[in-house]
Structure formats: structure tokens, C-alpha cells
Structure 1
Amino acid sequence: MAASCCKWLSTAAMVMALYSVAFGFDTQWHDAHATFYGDMGGGETMGGACGYGNLFEQGYGLETTALSVTLFNNGATCGACYEVMCVNSPQWCKKGSVIVTATNLCPNNPAGGWCNPPAHHFDLSQPMFVKIAEYKAGIVPVKYRRVMCRKSGGIKFEIKGNPYFNMVLVYNVGGAGDVWDVKIKGDSTDWITMNRNWGDNWDTGVVLQGQSLSFKITTSDGKSVQLDNVAPSNWQFGQTFERKFNF
């Protein structure tokens, strides 16, 4: 890929390992429980609390999960990928594991529930649940770990808002998957740090219409990439732009 398209902010392997700890990327196995939502056709296909829209159109498909409040971390883990396998329940467990992307929140229930803090819980799409456990089980103990995300195509940016409020949905992110920092730059501006509005929607009040837009993305393992001229100067609200690059 041309240098003008993508500029890696490289680091040494040891420094990256330290970043992984500092930014919270954890590949160790942990204990949790899993339930399921929807039906075998996918049931709920919208991205919910992560804001991804139609999960099939945006490339996430059925390989998805909602996370408990603790794991969701106020949306910071949207886009993260997990390997999940059923354990310690011979009656219900199947062999093997599934890899899913976090696309939604399994909310806190004031009356009590599996997703309330401090529980670690996965509410899998039904097709993913039945790959690791019998449908009749309903809920099973699992082991899970973070894994790198492999996405088809490049990182995508959907621009929303109005002339005085720009909100950008960042999705289809590979590598660590979860976006921890977004910066945006117009032709006539310096780099502007965007705020996480909700899920993977990031905002700024700086007027940017009429300028081509560039982005810097940092994921939770500390890796960053600069994508220049992602959107041309005649971009419009509601449009989505894809740069043919991914982590």
C-alpha cells in the first residue's frame, strides 16, 4: 500500500507487550458463563449498544455476542473478538470453540441477573451458542480469551451528524478490534481528538464540511495507524467510506 495511504506508528516488540498490558488487551483464559439470544436465523441483527447498524450488511454476520456490563466497559470493548468454549458441563458441552465479535451490551438488571457487575458473561447469538453447547442447556459455564480479529475489507467510517456536530461510526476493525482512540483531521485543521459518544461512535464539534478527512486510529493493544484522505472534500452526512487497509 502506498505510503501516502497508511503510516504505521511502529514500536519494538517489547514496548508493544507493555502497551498490551497498559491498554488492557488480555489473551489469557478466564471463567465466565454464556447464554444466547435470538433464533437460528440470527434473531437480533442490529448492533445495539455498539451502534454498528445491520450486522450482516456491516460484515459481522452471526458471529456475535453481547457482553455483560463489566466486560462491555462502557463501550470500550465494542469490536473486540473472543474465543469462547463450553467447559465443566459434560451433559451440555460440545467440543470446540467459537470466535465472536462484541457488538452489544447485555444490560444490568436491577432484579438481578447474569450480566450484572461483576459477572463476566457472554450472551451469544443462538447459532454460536449451539456450536459449543446443547440448546436445552440455556446457560453453560465457559472459558474465554481475547483473540485478534480478522475482518474482510478495510476499516470503515460512517459520517453522521450536522454541520456543527460530526459523529463518525468506526467499524470493521481488525487486529485488536476495539478502538480506544480516534483523531480526525481536515485540510485546514490540526489533528483533533474525538470523544467516544457511545459504542463505536466518535464525535467532535469542529466544523469539517468542505474538507477532505483523515483519521488516526489506536486499538487497545497500542497499535496505531494513520489513514490519509479517507473522505474527499465533497463528503456528505450519511455516507460511509472505506480505506483498503486493516490491522
Structure 2
Amino acid sequence: MWVFEKHLNLSGKPDLHWKTATATWYGDPNGSGSDGGACGYGSLVDVKPFRARVGAVSPILFKNGEGCGACYKVKCLDSQICSRRAVTVIITDECPGCSARNAHFDLSGAAFGRLAISGEDTQIRNRGVLNVIYRRTPCKYPGKKVAFHVNEGSTDYWLSILIEFEDGDGDVGSMHIKEATSNEWIEMTHLWGANWCIIGGPLKGPFSVKLTTLSTGRTLSTRDVIPQKWSPTATYTSRLNFTP
């Protein structure tokens, strides 16, 4: 059984107006940024669909990890070296040392270079810091469904899960889990980045999972997505995703 709901939450609705920010880059000039990051996606940042479309953000956008997975369009303002097109990036990390009050994007080298006019990618990287504008945009992962990665160290008494590939809002504001023998949805605790956990026990699978997005309160529920004999480090893919 699958349940897909949409809740109107005007106060949390993504703002589609462009806002001002600054941007830098990190990692290799043509690379996908550092492996891992403060969201916990690990090696996923190096492969599609994340590859070359990732970035770290300042605390105002990172939101203590609840901003992980959100997608933004970023556009450079210097018409001499910058393209008119915006680059879409997925938040996978927090920018260390960035101002807590101002919006800042620390992009992968590849994403930063894509802000440039053709042939000017080296020059734009040499600038170091760019003035940019940005806005939220729906995340799109063609062919992907929401997936649940059971983190290493999970047991029948402490279960930790990383959320992957959420279309639409991209972010997660709350997560609930339900054992097969129960009718009660139990709220999970946000650990860090895109990681959530539940403490109890012994916990008995299979587990149903319900996600609620941070931005608009949309809810996605899936039944028995994590099997009875689940394994740490395994990833379990659902059959549904949010609508972008």
C-alpha cells in the first residue's frame, strides 16, 4: 500500500523569487567536490545523479541538516564572464566558516565552471568569489525512487537511516517509522545531515516509512519498504517518489 498526500503549508512554501548571495568553489577544478560531506551522502556525490551538481551552503540554507537534498538554481551576475543560464545544484554539505547570517554557496569545481561563458571557466574560477542570485527549484531525479540506506552500526535497538533521491522539495522535515506488528507511527529523531534514527527494541521489521518535507509539508508513505531481515549498509528502494 502506498499513500501520497499533499499538505498546503503556505508559510513553508519555497520562495521562487531570486535572492542575492555569494559563491565560491572547492575540490578539483572540474570535479564534483569533496567525497561525503555534512549531509552523509558519501560516495553518491561522485556519481549520477549528484555528480557535478552539488554544493555546500552556509548555515542559513543548511538548516542544521534539514536543508540537505534541497535543490537551487544559481546564476552569476558578471555579464563579462558569466553565462545567462543558471546552474542547478543539490545541497550535500555545509560550508565551513561561512557567515551564519548570509546566503553562500560553495560549489563543486564543475558546477562553478558551468556558470561561465563557454571558454571562460578557468577565468571564472580565478575570480574566487562571485556575486550570484539564487532560488529554490524542484529536485528531479529521472528514473529514481526514494531510497532508504540503513547506516552502518544499526541494530535491533538503534536503527539509523539515510534518505536519498527525494524529488520535488528534496528536503525532509520529519520522518516516521512503523513496525509490521503495530499500527502506530513512531517519530524518528534527526541525527545529522540527511540521517534519522529510532531507539527502542527490539525493533521488528518489516518497516513502513513516512516522510514529510520541510518546505511544504508534503507526505509520502510506503509500506514494508525495509524488509524483516534488513542489513546494515544495505539500501532499500521504494516504488514511489514525490512529484517535482
Taking structure 2 as the reference length, the TM-score comes to: 0.88
What does the per-residue CA deviation read over 1:135-182, in whole Å, with 9 as the maximum and x for residues that have no partner? Answer: 222111001000000013101101122222111101111110001110
The code of the aligned residue for 2:128 comes to G
Deviation of 1:90 (Å): 3.1
The code of the aligned residue for 1:196 comes to H
Answer with 198-207 or 154-163: which moved more.
Answer: 154-163
> Which residue of the partner structure matches residue 133 of structure 2?
143
In 2: Cα distance, 1:200 partner to 1:228 partner: 21
Instruction: Give 2:55's match in structure 1, choosing from 60, 65, 89.
Output: 65
Q: Does 1:82 align with 2:72?
A: yes
> Which residue of the partner structure matches residue 127 of structure 1?
110
Q: Does 1:213 align with 2:207?
A: yes
What does the per-residue CA deviation read over 1:196-230, in whole Å, with 9 as the maximum and x for residues that have no partner? Answer: 10001001102364420110011121110111110
Q: Does 1:100 align with 2:94?
A: no
The code of the aligned residue for 1:202 comes to W
> Which residue of the partner structure matches residue 100 of structure 2?
117
> Which residue of the partner structure matches residue 47 of structure 1?
36
> Which residue of the partner structure matches residue 26 of structure 2?
37
Following TM superposition, the consecutive aligned residue runs of length 4 or more in structure 1 with deviations greater than 4 angstroms are none
Query: Alignment length, in residue pairs?
Result: 229
Deviation of 1:61 (Å): 1.2
Unaligned runs of 5+ in 1: 109-114
Instruction: Give 2:3's match in structure 1, choosing from 7, 11, 15.
Output: 7
The code of the aligned residue for 1:225 comes to L
In 2: Cα distance, 1:99 partner to 1:223 partner: 22
Deviation of 1:92 (Å): 3.3
Taking structure 1 as the reference length, the TM-score comes to: 0.87
Q: Does 1:56 align with 2:46?
A: yes
Percent identity over the alignment? 34
Deviation of 1:187 (Å): 1.0
The alignment partner of 1:150 has SS state of: coil
Deviation of 1:102 (Å): 0.3
The alignment partner of 1:48 has SS state of: coil
Instruction: Give 1:184's match in structure 2, choosing from 170, 177, 188.
Output: 177
8 A contact 1:209–1:233 mirrored in 2:
no
Deviation of 1:73 (Å): 1.2
In 1: Cα distance, 2:203 partner to 2:51 partner: 33
Closer, same or farther: CA 46–207 of 1 in aligned 2, 3 Å: farther
Closer, same or farther: CA 96–221 of 1 in aligned 2, 3 Å: same
Unaligned runs of 5+ in 2: 117-123
In 2: Cα distance, 1:43 partner to 1:229 partner: 34
Deviation of 1:71 (Å): 1.4
Superposed, which structure 2 residues align to 1:163-202 within 5 Å? 163-189=156-182, 190-202=184-196
Answer with 193-202 or 181-190: which moved more.
Answer: 181-190
In 1: Cα distance, 2:202 partner to 2:145 partner: 23
> Which residue of the partner structure matches residue 234 of structure 1?
229
8 A contact 1:80–1:102 mirrored in 2:
yes
Deviation of 1:24 (Å): 5.3
Closer, same or farther: CA 10–143 of 1 in aligned 2, 3 Å: closer
